[in-house]
A and B are shown apart, each in its own frame.
Chain A
Amino acid sequence: MTVIPSGNLQTTTPAKNYGTNILRWGAIAFVVIFCLAPVMWQVLTSFKVNQDIAAVPTIYFPGRITLNHYIELFNRRPFWRYIFNSAFVSIVSTAFSLALGAPAAYALARLRPWGGRVILAGILIVTLFPGILLFLGLLEIIQRLHLGNNYLSLIIPYTAINLPLTILVLRSFFEQLPKDLEDAARVDGYNTLQMLVQILLPMTIPALVTTGILTFIFAWNEFIFALTFITREEMKTIPVGAAQLGGASGFEIPYGPIAAATIVGTLPLVVLVLFFQRKIIQGLSAGAVKG
């Protein structure tokens, strides 16, 4: 396994090349199997008949498949609502997060405000706070404002939690933009706002998309706030709804419908990752490397 980015010098003999190739493909195979296996297993389980699910030894390639679990999933619980709730909260909080984060990122990148270093350090530190430290204070506020079982009780915290990442990623992006463009625009007579909206914004769309995807993923996957602040069935998000699926008899955990719920709940994200893999990696590394 070489650490030299290949495509450069081939100073190794063909035999050694063969060896490293085997190692490399072995490593790749390991990565693929390691990452895919649990997900694939849930896919399989979601299509297996109940008897096959409970079969010992485990059946890996079922002879018969069923869509019952998926049907049961949507019948027993308002899963369509869960999907809508997750999507709604994620999209709105992403929009808010971008709307608040982009100007802040621009300010930190270009306008060098007084105290900018401190603000940046503060934002970095705040990224490290786990949700458990915040949920008690937020719970009290939600109780007082009667915001329980309200989309806002999730949208506002999600926006705030996604802000640090948004600001960091967009800030590193803004720093990379050529300054000359803005100077040229100013020379051409644009004022700050016009320049931002008409010139800078179109250029930042790739970064906005990247950040938007990351914040969407975080919001979709969030659990502890969704668990605490939303208790009405019709308003729950997917992770919470799936984790609370009950069974038909006292001692049966519905493994089939749970697997189906896992697949349905992760499908949108899988699609996102599939299409935007490169951007996601860019976004994460930009946020971390520059930070």
Chain B
Amino acid sequence: MFYLKRLQEHQKIFQRSKFWLGIFIVVLLCIILISIPPTLSQQPVVLNLLMTAPDAQPWKQFLIKDFEEKNPGIRINLIEGPNATNLLEDLYTSAFILGDSPYDLINMDVIWTPKFAAAGWLLDLSDRMTQQELAAFSPKDVEGGRVGGKLYRIPMRSDVGVLYSRKDLLKQAGFQPPETFSDLLKISLALQQQRKVNWGYVWQGRQYEGLAAMFVEVLEGFGGFWVNPNTLEVGLDRPETLQAIAFLKETVAKGISPPGVTTYIEEDTRRFFQSGQAAFLRSWPYVWPLANAADSPIKGKIAIQPMVSNALKTGGSCLGGWGLGIAKSTKHPEEAWKAIQYFTSEQAQRQFILSAGYVPSRRSLFTDPEIVAKFPYYPKLLEIEDKAILRPPIAQYDQASDILQRYLSAALTNRIAPESAMKAAAAETRMLLKTRGSRE
């Protein structure tokens, strides 16, 4: 019968495949056994630390080696993450969300601390440092690491928004450094009219976190506020906010800022300023060494100052920077604390700053002679940092920032009228923060 023959063929195939199946299973088992990591018994304590790949270089080169030498028995496993910091935050969040975190030391941007703390992922460090020890750091920086009165983050690298100016042009034209917004506009226009520069003032206007950082400074300068962290009051639909937006729009409307400024991020603005096209730049301290490099057209011609304000207020500078915390789920909190103490200690920071050019978090180092010799603008930076302002340290900062970014960007690019944009932004932010259930 036809079926019989087919049957026999298939049974032969089946026998053969049973054989191959057996081999396959044995191979699979071997692979599994090999890949199960060997049980650790006498291994040193390993602390996992995540940071962006470019930031990791100085750490790999000496910081970690130094620490491990001084602390045998503790190893730091440095994991290089993606370059974009918001992707790094996502990595942390997705790691923490699963329950056990693979990271022991948490390298945090200042705006992440409230979120991580509110989610219960960070260890309370309040008892580990005395008031005296904390006074060694900038007060606002420490405050950025506090949530609900408890300390979760020790500052390691600071960052603060500053206003750069072309002091050579100002001197030539006989101007004093600007103190108010109107000063800034006036001087810019004058310099532009005298054809000293193409543009007056350049800032970051693209829809990203940097926009929020830049905006809080202008907002502070007009006496407005974004979200009050204590009362959760939203100040986006107040007149001061509209004044702030009006100022920014004015810079473009009057031709003081290039129209493309609403697509610029830090590097775009730096290149702009460094090529001598603008008189004023709002950015971060990292620009200084680059702008004073040997091949820079504006070498030696720049000055640094806090951001301007209106006549009644003082200028606001947005605080950025990184700090270290400890994961609540870590198995080695003591060793992690040792690591933090080392990395935020004066000698480690000194080495760090001198080689990589980062801004310190310890106040003493800003005026340290060895460091000032290399970075003469640091004492000025300390002044600015002591008066810095924080972006609202609320747990839902990410969402609030996203709302502000979207509506602000729409207002700045003339897609929506500023008033309706801020009204909508305030409404959405209120709706967002209202969701605290029984608290209201």
- By a beta-carbon cutoff of 8 Å, the part of chain A in contact with chain B is 76, 84, 88, 91, 139, 142-143, 146, 148-149, 180-181, 184, 198-199, 201-203, 205, 227-229, 231-233, 244, 246-253
For the complex formed, measure the closest distance between the CB of A236 and the CB atoms of chain B, giving whole angstroms. Answer: 11
Instruction: Classify the secondary structure of A's interface with B.
Output: helix
Are B82 and A198 in contact (CB-based, < 8 A)? Answer: no
Are B80 and A246 in contact (CB-based, < 8 A)? Answer: yes
Chain B count of residues within 8 A CB distance of the other chain = 30
Is B13 on the interface with A (CB-CB < 8 A)?
Answer: yes
| Complexed CA–CA distance, A249 and B267 (Å) | 14
Is B54 on the interface with A (CB-CB < 8 A)?
Answer: yes
Residue of chain B at shortest CB distance from A208: B17
Are B95 and A231 in contact (CB-based, < 8 A)? Answer: yes
Of the residues B3, B13, B52, B98, contact of A148 by C-beta under 8 Å = B98
Q: Which of B15-37 contact A (CB under 8 A)?
A: 17, 28, 31-32, 35
Is B246 on the interface with A (CB-CB < 8 A)?
Answer: no
For the complex formed, measure the closest distance between the CB of B366 and the CB atoms of chain A, giving whole angstroms. Answer: 24
Is B210 on the interface with A (CB-CB < 8 A)?
Answer: no
| Complexed CA–CA distance, A203 and B8 (Å) | 11
Are A246 and B83 in contact (CB-based, < 8 A)? Answer: yes
Q: Which A residues are CB-close (under 8 A) to B98?
A: 142-143, 148-149, 229, 231
Say whether, besides A146-B100, A148-B100, A250 and B94 are in contact (CB < 8 Å): no
Q: Which A residues are CB-close (under 8 A) to B72?
A: none
Residue of chain B at shortest CB distance from A209: B17
Are A198 and B11 in contact (CB-based, < 8 A)? Answer: yes
Q: How many A-B residue pairs have CB under 8 A?
A: 73
Say whether, besides A84-B35, A253-B83, A248 and B99 are in contact (CB < 8 Å): no
| Complexed CA–CA distance, A184 and B2 (Å) | 12
Are B80 and A148 in contact (CB-based, < 8 A)? Answer: no
Are A201 and B14 in contact (CB-based, < 8 A)? Answer: yes
| Complexed CA–CA distance, A88 and B97 (Å) | 24
For the complex formed, measure the closest distance between the CB of B107 and the CB atoms of chain A, giving whole angstroms. Answer: 14
Q: Which of B273-324 contact A (CB under 8 A)?
A: none
Of the residues A199, A205, A244, A249, contact of B82 by C-beta under 8 Å = A244
Is B91 on the interface with A (CB-CB < 8 A)?
Answer: yes
Is B372 on the interface with A (CB-CB < 8 A)?
Answer: no
Are A205 and B100 in contact (CB-based, < 8 A)? Answer: no
| Complexed CA–CA distance, A203 and B12 (Å) | 11
Instruction: Classify the secondary structure of B's interface with A.
Output: helix
Are A247 and B54 in contact (CB-based, < 8 A)? Answer: yes
Are B82 and A251 in contact (CB-based, < 8 A)? Answer: no
Residue of chain B at shortest CB distance from A203: B10
Are B102 and A231 in contact (CB-based, < 8 A)? Answer: yes
Most buried by B among A76, A231, A252, A253: A231
Q: Which B residues are CB-close (under 8 A) to A203?
A: 6, 10
| Complexed CA–CA distance, A180 and B83 (Å) | 64
Q: Which of B93-119 contact A (CB under 8 A)?
A: 94-95, 97-100, 102
Q: Which of B53-105 contact A (CB under 8 A)?
A: 53-54, 79-83, 87, 91, 94-95, 97-100, 102
Identify the 3 closest CB pairs spanning chains A and B, nearest first.
A148-B98, A202-B10, A246-B53
Q: Which A residues are CB-close (under 8 A) to B13?
A: 202, 205
Known pairs A146-B100, A248-B54 / 18 extra A-B pairs, C-beta < 8 Å: A76-B80, A143-B97, A149-B98, A202-B10, A202-B11, A202-B14, A205-B10, A228-B94, A229-B98, A232-B102, A244-B82, A246-B52, A246-B82, A246-B83, A247-B53, A247-B54, A249-B54, A250-B54
Are B3 and A181 in contact (CB-based, < 8 A)? Answer: yes
| Complexed CA–CA distance, A149 and B100 (Å) | 9
Q: Which B residues are CB-close (under 8 A) to A143?
A: 97-99
Of the residues A198, A233, A248, A253, contact of B79 by C-beta under 8 Å = A233
Is B7 on the interface with A (CB-CB < 8 A)?
Answer: yes
Are A139 and B10 in contact (CB-based, < 8 A)? Answer: no
Q: Which A residues are CB-close (under 8 A) to B17?
A: 205
Q: Which A residues are CB-close (under 8 A) to B52?
A: 246, 250
Q: Which A residues are CB-close (under 8 A) to B87?
A: 244
Are A148 and B99 in contact (CB-based, < 8 A)? Answer: yes
| Complexed CA–CA distance, A251 and B99 (Å) | 32
| Complexed CA–CA distance, A170 and B163 (Å) | 69
Are A227 and B94 in contact (CB-based, < 8 A)? Answer: yes
Residue of chain A at shortest CB distance from B79: A233
Residue of chain A at shortest CB distance from B4: A184
| Complexed CA–CA distance, A115 and B301 (Å) | 83
Q: Which B residues are CB-close (under 8 A) to A228?
A: 94
A-B contact pairs, 12 of them (CB 8 A): A88-B32, A139-B97, A143-B97, A148-B99, A205-B10, A205-B17, A227-B94, A228-B94, A229-B98, A231-B91, A231-B95, A246-B80
